[in-house]
Amino acid sequence: MLSSVVRSGASSGSVSDLSFIVLRGSRETRLTVYALVKYGNSLRRLRMISGDVQAKLDGFYAYGLQDLGTSFNPATVGAADLAHEELEALCTALATNDWGFITLL
């Protein structure tokens, strides 16, 4: 079970919520992981997108870590909600096989 995330060997945070999405298209399959990570009083969103499983690149991940600040309320919005906000962009990337813009989200 994933219970903590280490940041550059400095300090660690705890995962407060986790969501997985399997993106399966005609040409590729990827795993996307969304997590809410608590660091002290602040909350961060971790998004990890695997490489193409069909091309045996599933061990490679692109990730983004975004500070959500202290005003974000994890009691009302979870990791699945954050994933749902980006679902259309993820589906577009899957359909076009263009993952370059996904890092801008």
Q: Which residues of the chain have pLDDT under 70?
A: 1-12, 103-105
pTM over 0.85: no
With b for 16 or more beta-carbon neighbours within 10 A and e for fewer, the 66-95 pattern comes to eebeeeeeeeeebbeebbeebeeebeebbe
Beta strands across the sheet bearing 61-69: 4-7, 11-24, 29-39, 42-50, 61-69
Q: Name the domain count of the chain.
A: 1
3-state secondary structure of 83: helix
Residue 12 is predicted with a pLDDT of: 67
Residue 10 is predicted with a pLDDT of: 42
How many other CB atoms are there within 10 angstroms of residue 28's CB atom? 17
Q: Which domain holds residue 52?
A: 4-104
